[in-house]
Chain A
């Protein structure tokens, strides 16, 4: 048994960031990072984008092997943490090893939600192995059925189309990206998919999947049926809470953490896709953020908390998605908004701002080619962080630089 120190379970975006942040914040004792996947920790966002388009794309590693050595982080790959005893302060690994800890971080992420259909092979996309299995099937002409018009579904639809595959997307809601993206911004993306030849079917459920001699029939609730060769589901993710639940930790839409990302068990913290926490910018509403930057920021924040830091985690939510030649960026919580302002820029790019009841800026979103919206969405994020109450007319007026609104009044 190693000397107890800091143990991080889950070697994804969040766990890796946390392990390095422990060092950056001055921790000199042992740091062990345990990951179930056999690969050097890698980036997930490319899996549905360039990593699916190019046959030669390998995993994009988060840090190279030397970086873990240099930081003296012991990386245990390909081994699951199977048990957790929060009283005795140790983690049991699937290979029988027992790791004592002073402080533990659960950064176990999420898994792709499976479809409730038996008997028909359905691809999911969460890991590099999933991406390799899927792209092997995506030869030109292969008919692809994508179930779910969320981010992963639409990104992989665009990637499959780029590989010369005819694609049908089936979305239960009345429009794609229903949960997190305002309607007018989602409409820009939907139109782009249709222009790329993707058959986008909204407002209908998949009722059944049936293998046929030549492919798979996707039976829709509206009575229609589509025949495809490959079915991929992008119907959301489920937080990976099994280890925490077995150990008796509180779970509420993910491992329940407080404002410092501490869980209900002493010396155990949680961060990234696996946890929910109260967000101070949104009246302490409990949220689970599933995004690349949140995973990093929470990893760094959890590391500070593990070392005794008192600050609550308060970063403004932010994520991006790349589909065809368009890049979407969203900041804040769009569903918290009760009012809106829309800015139409001279270059044709539309920006959406979501406002609270008292006019506070709560969210913003934009979509455009390349990094066209990056600067404006970043400024919106800064306004949100300051609890700014900008003049809605100024938000809507493309002649007013958003930067000038940083001087707006702020809410209490």
Chain B
């Protein structure tokens, strides 16, 4: 059963940035786009499982801190070598200043 899990407060994430979120032993990355839309993806890079939350967000793209693999965090799409496998993404919603992500 998918359920909405509170991940963070809206202002825990700066615009055009990312923070980590852990739930039930899994890592997620929560993004805030430059125009204040929230997104969530798997927390680890699909290349060598580095944590993405230490990476740089530019526009709609997160760059992995280890080998600079880039993903479109709005769709999870891997943007080319070294990252060849897309990231899993999760729906988000904002209610009362809290960002929720929907986890299965």
Contacts from A to B (Cβ < 8 Å): 20, 293, 370-372, 374-375, 378-379, 401, 403
Give every chain A residue within 8 A of B55 (Cβ-Cβ): 371, 374-375
Give every chain A residue within 8 A of B54 (Cβ-Cβ): 370-372, 374-375
Residue of chain A at shortest CB distance from B52: A371
Partner of A374, one of B14, B16, B65, B81: B65
Is B51 engaged at the interface, CB distance under 8 Å to the other chain? yes
How near does chain B come to A45, taking the closest CB pair, in angstroms?
11
Partner of B66, one of A372, A374, A403: A374
Give every chain B residue within 8 A of A20 (Cβ-Cβ): 81
21 contacts between A and B (CB under 8 A): A20-B81, A293-B68, A370-B51, A370-B54, A371-B50, A371-B51, A371-B54, A371-B55, A371-B65, A371-B66, A372-B54, A374-B54, A374-B55, A374-B56, A375-B54, A375-B55, A375-B56, A375-B65, A378-B56, A379-B56, A403-B16
* Interface contact tally, CB-CB below 8 A: 28
Partner of B63, one of A293, A378, A401, A403: A378
Number of chain B interface residues as a range? 10 to 19
Q: Digitize B31-68: 1 where CB-to-A-CB distance is under 8 Å, 0 elsewhere.
A: 00000000000000000001100111000000101111
Residue of chain B at shortest CB distance from A406: B58
Give every chain A residue within 8 A of B65 (Cβ-Cβ): 371, 374-375, 378
Which of B51, B54, B56: most chain A CB closer than 10 A?
Answer: B56
Give every chain B residue within 8 A of A375 (Cβ-Cβ): 54-56, 65
How near does chain A come to B50, taking the closest CB pair, in angstroms?
7
How near does chain B come to A11, taking the closest CB pair, in angstroms?
17
Give every chain A residue within 8 A of B50 (Cβ-Cβ): 371
Give every chain A residue within 8 A of B81 (Cβ-Cβ): 20
Report how far A372 CA is from B55 CA in the complex, Å: 9
How near does chain B come to A292, taking the closest CB pair, in angstroms?
9
15 more A-B residue pairs beyond the given contacts A20-B81, A374-B54, A401-B14, with a C-beta to C-beta distance below 8 A? A293-B67, A293-B68, A370-B51, A370-B54, A371-B54, A371-B55, A371-B66, A374-B66, A375-B54, A375-B55, A375-B65, A378-B63, A378-B65, A378-B68, A403-B16
Give every chain A residue within 8 A of B66 (Cβ-Cβ): 371, 374
Give every chain A residue within 8 A of B56 (Cβ-Cβ): 374-375, 378-379
Report how far A401 CA is from B14 CA in the complex, Å: 11
Give every chain B residue within 8 A of A293 (Cβ-Cβ): 67-68
Report how far A399 CA is from B98 CA in the complex, Å: 25
How near does chain B come to A346, taking the closest CB pair, in angstroms?
15
Q: Digitize B2-16: 1 where CB-to-A-CB distance is under 8 Å, 0 elsewhere.
A: 000000000000101
Residues from 64 to 99 in B contacting A, C-beta threshold 8 Å: 65-68, 81
Report how far A382 CA is from B23 CA in the complex, Å: 34
How near does chain B come to A186, taking the closest CB pair, in angstroms?
22
Give every chain A residue within 8 A of B68 (Cβ-Cβ): 293, 378
Residue of chain A at shortest CB distance from B16: A403
How near does chain A come to B68, taking the closest CB pair, in angstroms?
7
Report how far A401 CA is from B15 CA in the complex, Å: 12
